[in-house]
Amino acid sequence: MLKKTLIVIVAIAVVAAFFLYSKSNRDYKDLGPQLKVSHILYNPNKPLPSFSLVDQDNQLFNNDNLKDGWTLLLFIYTHCPDICPTELLDMSALKNLMIKDKTTSMPKVVAITFDPLRDTPEVLKEYVRHFDKDFIGVSGKQAQIDQLIKPFGAYYERVIYDEKGKSVILKANDKLPESALQDGYVINHTAWIYLINPEGQIFAGFPSPHNPNQMADDIKLIMNQF
Protein backbone atom coordinates (compact mmCIF):
# COMPACT_ATOMS: atom_id res chain seq x y z
CA MET A 1 0.00 0.00 0.00
CA LEU A 2 2.81 2.38 0.93
CA LYS A 3 4.61 1.54 -2.32
CA LYS A 4 1.52 2.37 -4.38
CA THR A 5 1.09 5.65 -2.52
CA LEU A 6 4.69 6.62 -3.23
CA ILE A 7 4.24 5.78 -6.91
CA VAL A 8 1.16 8.00 -7.11
CA ILE A 9 2.97 10.87 -5.36
CA VAL A 10 5.95 10.59 -7.72
CA ALA A 11 3.64 10.49 -10.75
CA ILE A 12 1.82 13.62 -9.62
CA ALA A 13 5.12 15.41 -9.01
CA VAL A 14 6.37 14.48 -12.49
CA VAL A 15 3.20 15.72 -14.15
CA ALA A 16 3.28 18.97 -12.15
CA ALA A 17 6.94 19.55 -12.99
CA PHE A 18 6.28 18.91 -16.68
CA PHE A 19 3.35 21.33 -16.65
CA LEU A 20 5.35 24.07 -14.98
CA TYR A 21 8.31 23.52 -17.30
CA SER A 22 6.12 23.59 -20.39
CA LYS A 23 4.37 26.76 -19.26
CA SER A 24 7.60 28.57 -18.40
CA ASN A 25 9.14 27.64 -21.74
CA ARG A 26 6.16 28.43 -23.94
CA ASP A 27 6.80 31.36 -26.27
CA TYR A 28 3.11 31.93 -27.17
CA LYS A 29 3.97 32.53 -30.84
CA ASP A 30 0.98 30.39 -31.78
CA LEU A 31 -1.24 32.94 -30.05
CA GLY A 32 -0.07 35.87 -32.18
CA PRO A 33 -2.03 35.10 -35.38
CA GLN A 34 -5.26 34.89 -33.37
CA LEU A 35 -4.96 38.42 -32.00
CA LYS A 36 -6.69 41.39 -33.60
CA VAL A 37 -4.84 44.47 -32.36
CA SER A 38 -2.07 43.35 -30.02
CA HIS A 39 1.41 41.89 -30.31
CA ILE A 40 2.97 39.24 -28.08
CA LEU A 41 6.07 40.72 -26.39
CA TYR A 42 6.60 37.97 -23.83
CA ASN A 43 10.21 37.03 -23.13
CA PRO A 44 10.70 35.13 -19.85
CA ASN A 45 14.46 35.64 -20.13
CA LYS A 46 14.06 39.41 -19.91
CA PRO A 47 12.16 40.24 -16.71
CA LEU A 48 11.43 43.83 -15.75
CA PRO A 49 14.30 45.48 -13.84
CA SER A 50 13.77 46.17 -10.17
CA PHE A 51 12.20 49.58 -9.70
CA SER A 52 10.92 51.69 -6.83
CA LEU A 53 8.30 54.37 -7.47
CA VAL A 54 5.34 55.86 -5.57
CA ASP A 55 1.66 55.67 -6.31
CA GLN A 56 -0.94 58.44 -6.14
CA ASP A 57 -1.26 57.94 -2.38
CA ASN A 58 2.50 58.24 -1.81
CA GLN A 59 2.76 54.51 -1.18
CA LEU A 60 5.63 52.37 -2.50
CA PHE A 61 5.00 51.02 -5.98
CA ASN A 62 7.46 48.39 -7.22
CA ASN A 63 7.63 45.09 -9.08
CA ASP A 64 5.38 43.38 -6.54
CA ASN A 65 2.51 45.69 -7.49
CA LEU A 66 2.53 44.19 -10.99
CA LYS A 67 2.15 40.61 -9.78
CA ASP A 68 -0.73 38.33 -8.74
CA GLY A 69 -3.08 39.72 -11.36
CA TRP A 70 -3.18 41.19 -14.86
CA THR A 71 -2.28 44.84 -15.42
CA LEU A 72 -2.74 47.28 -18.29
CA LEU A 73 0.15 49.72 -18.07
CA LEU A 74 0.56 52.97 -19.96
CA PHE A 75 2.99 55.88 -19.81
CA ILE A 76 1.43 59.36 -19.73
CA TYR A 77 1.88 62.93 -18.55
CA THR A 78 -0.91 65.12 -17.24
CA HIS A 79 -0.14 68.14 -19.43
CA CYS A 80 -0.64 66.00 -22.54
CA PRO A 81 -3.13 67.77 -24.83
CA ASP A 82 -4.59 64.78 -26.66
CA ILE A 83 -2.98 61.31 -26.67
CA CYS A 84 -2.93 60.62 -22.93
CA PRO A 85 -6.52 61.63 -22.14
CA THR A 86 -7.66 59.65 -25.18
CA GLU A 87 -5.82 56.56 -23.92
CA LEU A 88 -7.40 56.85 -20.49
CA LEU A 89 -10.84 57.35 -22.00
CA ASP A 90 -10.24 54.18 -24.02
CA MET A 91 -9.29 52.34 -20.82
CA SER A 92 -12.50 53.53 -19.20
CA ALA A 93 -14.51 52.29 -22.20
CA LEU A 94 -12.63 48.98 -22.13
CA LYS A 95 -13.45 48.52 -18.45
CA ASN A 96 -17.15 49.12 -19.09
CA LEU A 97 -17.12 46.55 -21.90
CA MET A 98 -15.42 43.89 -19.80
CA ILE A 99 -17.68 44.50 -16.82
CA LYS A 100 -20.74 44.04 -19.02
CA ASP A 101 -19.27 40.90 -20.59
CA LYS A 102 -18.80 39.21 -17.19
CA THR A 103 -16.66 36.37 -18.64
CA THR A 104 -13.26 37.88 -17.80
CA SER A 105 -12.16 40.28 -15.10
CA MET A 106 -10.76 43.65 -16.08
CA PRO A 107 -7.00 44.07 -15.47
CA LYS A 108 -6.06 46.93 -13.19
CA VAL A 109 -4.97 50.07 -15.01
CA VAL A 110 -1.66 51.70 -14.06
CA ALA A 111 -0.56 55.02 -15.57
CA ILE A 112 3.11 55.90 -15.01
CA THR A 113 4.14 59.47 -15.73
CA PHE A 114 6.99 60.50 -18.01
CA ASP A 115 6.99 63.84 -16.18
CA PRO A 116 7.44 63.48 -12.39
CA LEU A 117 8.65 67.09 -12.07
CA ARG A 118 5.11 68.28 -12.67
CA ASP A 119 3.17 65.08 -12.03
CA THR A 120 3.39 64.65 -8.28
CA PRO A 121 1.34 61.88 -6.67
CA GLU A 122 -1.31 64.44 -5.71
CA VAL A 123 -1.57 65.77 -9.28
CA LEU A 124 -1.75 62.26 -10.71
CA LYS A 125 -4.43 61.20 -8.25
CA GLU A 126 -6.79 63.96 -9.32
CA TYR A 127 -5.98 63.39 -12.99
CA VAL A 128 -6.43 59.60 -13.29
CA ARG A 129 -9.50 59.51 -11.07
CA HIS A 130 -11.17 61.92 -13.44
CA PHE A 131 -11.32 58.95 -15.84
CA ASP A 132 -11.98 56.15 -13.33
CA LYS A 133 -11.80 55.95 -9.55
CA ASP A 134 -9.86 52.67 -9.70
CA PHE A 135 -7.10 53.78 -12.06
CA ILE A 136 -3.67 54.01 -10.42
CA GLY A 137 -1.27 56.88 -11.10
CA VAL A 138 2.44 56.35 -10.47
CA SER A 139 5.24 58.89 -10.13
CA GLY A 140 8.73 58.89 -8.61
CA LYS A 141 12.29 59.78 -9.47
CA GLN A 142 13.02 60.44 -13.13
CA ALA A 143 15.98 58.04 -13.16
CA GLN A 144 13.81 55.18 -11.92
CA ILE A 145 11.14 55.90 -14.52
CA ASP A 146 13.74 56.14 -17.30
CA GLN A 147 15.16 52.77 -16.26
CA LEU A 148 11.73 51.17 -16.21
CA ILE A 149 10.62 52.31 -19.67
CA LYS A 150 13.62 50.77 -21.47
CA PRO A 151 12.40 47.14 -21.60
CA PHE A 152 9.05 48.38 -22.90
CA GLY A 153 10.74 50.08 -25.83
CA ALA A 154 8.92 53.25 -24.83
CA TYR A 155 10.35 56.60 -25.88
CA TYR A 156 9.90 60.22 -24.96
CA GLU A 157 11.49 63.60 -25.61
CA ARG A 158 10.74 67.06 -24.23
CA VAL A 159 10.12 70.01 -26.52
CA ILE A 160 10.97 73.48 -25.24
CA TYR A 161 11.20 76.84 -27.01
CA ASP A 162 14.16 79.21 -27.08
CA GLU A 163 14.01 82.99 -26.79
CA LYS A 164 13.24 83.27 -30.51
CA GLY A 165 10.32 80.87 -30.24
CA LYS A 166 12.15 78.06 -32.02
CA SER A 167 11.43 74.54 -30.78
CA VAL A 168 14.30 72.65 -29.17
CA ILE A 169 14.10 68.90 -28.63
CA LEU A 170 15.62 67.48 -25.45
CA LYS A 171 16.28 63.76 -25.21
CA ALA A 172 15.35 61.87 -22.06
CA ASN A 173 18.78 62.31 -20.48
CA ASP A 174 19.23 65.98 -21.46
CA LYS A 175 19.05 68.49 -18.62
CA LEU A 176 15.87 70.50 -18.52
CA PRO A 177 16.49 74.28 -18.18
CA GLU A 178 15.18 75.81 -14.95
CA SER A 179 13.00 78.19 -16.95
CA ALA A 180 11.17 75.28 -18.61
CA LEU A 181 8.95 74.64 -15.59
CA GLN A 182 7.71 78.22 -15.73
CA ASP A 183 7.57 78.52 -19.51
CA GLY A 184 6.11 75.08 -20.04
CA TYR A 185 7.02 72.22 -22.35
CA VAL A 186 5.40 69.35 -24.16
CA ILE A 187 6.51 65.74 -24.36
CA ASN A 188 6.51 63.68 -27.53
CA HIS A 189 6.14 60.02 -26.64
CA THR A 190 5.10 56.56 -27.72
CA ALA A 191 1.50 55.65 -27.01
CA TRP A 192 1.45 51.89 -26.59
CA ILE A 193 -0.52 50.20 -23.84
CA TYR A 194 1.08 47.11 -22.32
CA LEU A 195 -0.48 44.00 -20.80
CA ILE A 196 1.50 42.69 -17.82
CA ASN A 197 0.96 39.08 -16.78
CA PRO A 198 0.46 37.90 -13.16
CA GLU A 199 4.19 37.18 -12.90
CA GLY A 200 4.95 40.85 -13.41
CA GLN A 201 6.33 40.41 -16.94
CA ILE A 202 5.53 42.27 -20.14
CA PHE A 203 3.24 39.98 -22.10
CA ALA A 204 1.62 41.95 -24.93
CA GLY A 205 1.46 45.43 -26.38
CA PHE A 206 -1.33 47.45 -28.00
CA PRO A 207 -0.17 50.15 -30.45
CA SER A 208 -2.31 53.22 -31.01
CA PRO A 209 -4.95 54.03 -32.02
CA HIS A 210 -6.75 51.83 -29.53
CA ASN A 211 -10.03 50.07 -30.17
CA PRO A 212 -11.59 49.05 -26.82
CA ASN A 213 -13.82 46.38 -28.39
CA GLN A 214 -10.95 44.63 -30.14
CA MET A 215 -8.68 45.08 -27.13
CA ALA A 216 -11.28 43.33 -24.99
CA ASP A 217 -11.34 40.37 -27.38
CA ASP A 218 -7.54 40.06 -27.37
CA ILE A 219 -7.25 40.38 -23.60
CA LYS A 220 -9.85 37.69 -23.02
CA LEU A 221 -8.07 35.36 -25.44
CA ILE A 222 -4.68 35.97 -23.85
CA MET A 223 -5.92 35.53 -20.31
CA ASN A 224 -7.75 32.32 -21.19
CA GLN A 225 -4.70 30.77 -22.84
CA PHE A 226 -2.06 31.88 -20.33
**pLDDT tens sequence across 107-142:** 999 999 999 999 999 999 999 999 999 999 999 999
With a cut of 90, say whether residue 6 has pLDDT above it.
Answer: no
pTM for the whole structure: 0.86
| Interval 147-171: pLDDT, tens | 999 999 999 999 998 888 899 999 8
* pLDDT at 134 (0 to 100): 97
Dihedral over Cα of 89, 91, 94, 98: its sign: negative
CATH classification (class only), 29-155+190-225: alpha beta
Please report which helix (H) or strand (E) contains residue 40, including its range: strand 39-40
Least confident span in 20-24, 60-64, 86-90, 136-140: 20-24
* pLDDT at 37 (0 to 100): 97
Domain-by-domain residue ranges, the chain?
Answer: 29-155+190-225
* Strand, helix or coil for residue 91: helix
Please report which helix (H) or strand (E) contains residue 137, including its range: strand 136-139
Closest CA to 84 of 220, 5, 188: 188
Q: Is the peptide bond before 121 cis (omega within 30 degrees of 0)?
A: no
Average pLDDT over residues 180-201: 95
φ/ψ of residue 143, rounded to 5: -65, -40
Residues in the chain: 226
* pLDDT at 139 (0 to 100): 98
With a cut of 60, say whether residue 185 has pLDDT above it.
Answer: yes
Angle at Cα 163 formed by Cα 158 and Cα 164, nearest 5°? 100
Dihedral over Cα of 170, 174, 178, 182: its sign: positive
CB 2 within 8 A of CB 166: no
